[in-house]
């Protein structure tokens, strides 16, 4: 089955890694190297509205997973391929994972502390953003089908999708010719903006707009602030500004600093651990407990309002009978 089934940690024999990525799905077994497996694939393709796959093209060809043939038989099908690199690059058969995408995209070069080594982001932002782009592509293809009756074939390369996260950082760098480099938790152009230590923790403060600087300076009793009224002036004196905020917060508990910033309406947040984020009142309302025979695990629900109950991630081949013995919809 999926190699991620073997990645820990585990509850019983169940991989929490696999479970977190596959909750709510049905799972079947298809061996594309056998006649039975090919027949199962044909059955699914005959019933599917959307196909999403992330085989390398050469591997797909070896296994007989032919998008062109499927679309010739069912032109209304929406087919989304997720290679590591786009087909036109000549690298579409190169392997690639999240770390490779973060490295190729330039994101690792701007992650970490100034003067330090390039770092991977703490979560799989390349994999996760590519999944979102693939979902958008699939939905766009399905809307096209509703409007025109025609399906489509869409390619969403992992590296390309990850590169979209560069956003304004990439636009600014190519326009100015200046490499942005890492700035820790800070911002390349906004000040103050980042993580600051308190007596008993850390606090994130985001000053976007000069009005928030005025409020922050008043709330933390910063001094001297003359000549720092604009972001451009603060950016030119970034070390002094960050030092001023750090000194003020170093003498406060996180709670007392939050009280001041809350009253002043300055954007801020305590920097939470993962467990804290998923268990404090606001975060806990976004988390769902999934019960299995091995025990329970927790996932963060989609942030879309109304939610359907989530089923546990499937065991290997759990839904073979349900899927392959079902009568066709057509």
Residue 312 has a pLDDT of 97
CATH architecture of 31-168: 3-Layer(aba) Sandwich (3.40)
Contact indicator for 255, 249 with CB cutoff of 8 Å: no
Contact indicator for 67, 54 with CB cutoff of 8 Å: no
Residue 274 has a pLDDT of 98
The partner residues of 195 in beta bridges, in order of sequence, read 204
Q: What is the fold of 193-271?
A: formyl-coa transferase, domain 3 (3.30.1540)
Residue 326 has a pLDDT of 77
| CA–CA separation, 35 and 42 (whole Å) | 11
Give me the residue spans of the domains in the chain. Answer: 31-168, 193-271
Residue 305 has a pLDDT of 83
Q: pTM of the prediction?
A: 0.93
Residue 308 has a pLDDT of 84
Residue 306 has a pLDDT of 81
Task: Find where tokens 């760098």 sit.
Answer: 173
Contact indicator for 46, 40 with CB cutoff of 8 Å: no
Contact indicator for 15, 8 with CB cutoff of 8 Å: yes
Residues of the chain with pLDDT under 50: none
| CA–CA separation, 53 and 60 (whole Å) | 9
Q: Which two tokens stand for residue 36?
A: 């039975």
C-alpha 18: how far from chain center: 16
* Ramachandran quadrant class, 92 (left: phi over 0; alpha: psi -120 to 50; beta: rest): alpha
Residue 307 has a pLDDT of 82
Residue 329 has a pLDDT of 59
């Amino acid at each position: 089955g999926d190699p991620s089934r073997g990645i820990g940690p585990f509850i019983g024999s169940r991989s929490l890694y696999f479970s977190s990525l596959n909750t709510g799905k049905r799972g079947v077994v298809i061996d594309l190297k056998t006649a039975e497996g090919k027949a199962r694939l044909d059955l699914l393709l005959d019933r599917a509205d959307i196909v999403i796959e992330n085989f390398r093209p050469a591997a797909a060809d070896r296994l007989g997973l032919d998008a062109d043939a499927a679309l010739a038989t069912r032109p209304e099908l929406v087919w989304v391929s997720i290679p590591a690199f786009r087909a036109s690059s000549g690298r579409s058969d190169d392997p690639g994972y999240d770390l490779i995408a973060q490295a190729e995209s330039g994101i690792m070069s701007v992650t970490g502390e100034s003067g330090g080594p390039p770092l991977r982001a703490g979560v799989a932002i390349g994999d996760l953003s590519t999944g979102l782009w693939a979902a958008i592509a699939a939905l766009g293809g399905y809307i096209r089908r509703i409007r025109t009756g025609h399906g489509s074939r869409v390619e969403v390369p992992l590296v390309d999708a990850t590169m979209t996260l560069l956003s304004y950082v990439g636009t600014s760098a190519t326009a100015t010719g200046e490499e942005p480099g890492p700035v820790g938790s800070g911002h390349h152009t906004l000040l103050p903006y980042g993580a600051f230590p308190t007596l008993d923790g850390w606090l994130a403060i985001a000053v976007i707009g000069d009005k928030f600087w005025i409020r922050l300076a008043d709330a933390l009793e910063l001094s001297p602030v003359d000549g720092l009224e604009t972001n451009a002036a603060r950016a030119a004196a970034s070390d002094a500004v960050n030092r001023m905020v750090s000194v003020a917060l170093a003498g406060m508990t996180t709670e007392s600093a939050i009280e001041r910033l809350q009253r002043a309406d300055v954007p801020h947040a305590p920097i939470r651990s993962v467990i804290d984020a998923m268990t404090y009142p606001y975060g806990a309302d976004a988390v769902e407990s999934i019960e299995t025979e091995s025990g329970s695990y927790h996932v963060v629900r989609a942030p879309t309002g109304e939610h359907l109950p989530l089923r546990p991630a499937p065991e290997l081949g759990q839904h073979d009978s349900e899927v392959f013995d079902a009568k066709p919809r057509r």
